Amino acid sequence: MGTLRDLQYALQEKIEELRQRDALIDELELELDQKDELIQRLQNELDKYRSVIKPATQQAQQQQQHSSGALQEHHRTKRQAISAEPTAFNIQDLSHVTLPFYPKSPQSKELIKEAILDNDFMKNLELSQIQEIVDCMYPVEYGKDSCIIKEGDVGSLVYVME
């Protein structure tokens, strides 16, 4: 058995070990938080890119089906949503920006325009800006009971449900 002095020394060593471990845990938690933030930013960027690539791929597939005559009429069992990709740029960079255009029916255009005008954040846009947003939006289909938007998530897309 150790003496009281030996036990006090051992206790001090253990306390110092615990402090070092706590400091390491704090560092690792901070690093984990930073990596979580990075993952969220990258996920948002990936969602933006997927939202652009997916419609282009779908459009190419539809054109291929139309040209081969393989397109068959089907019943719509999926819900549709319209999405627009936000773009970030300086006002000076606007001279060379070409916005994508997706053709749509007059009914879809009106539905999107009404949804924008009903939105507190977007209703004060100029009509030309609203028209540009309408032109840039495209249909996206989701299966029944799909989770499209979850409350509290950081959003990078605009949806209009049809």
| Whole-number Å distance between alpha carbons of 128 and 136 | 12
Residue scoring higher pLDDT (15 or 151): 15
Which residues make beta-bridge pairs with 159?
Answer: 83
Closest C-alpha to 157, from 104, 102, 84: 84
What digits encode the pLDDT tens for the residues 109-139? 999 999 989 988 888 888 888 898 999 998 8
Identify the pLDDT of residue 73. 44
Higher pLDDT, 157 or 9: 9
Task: Give percent helix, percent strand, percent coil of the chain, each to the nearest 5.
Answer: 60, 10, 35
Residues 28, 34, 38, 44: is their CA dihedral positive or negative? positive
Model confidence pLDDT, tens digit, residues 48-87: 777 766 655 665 665 565 555 544 444 444 555 555 555 5
Q: How high does pLDDT run on average in the chain?
A: 79
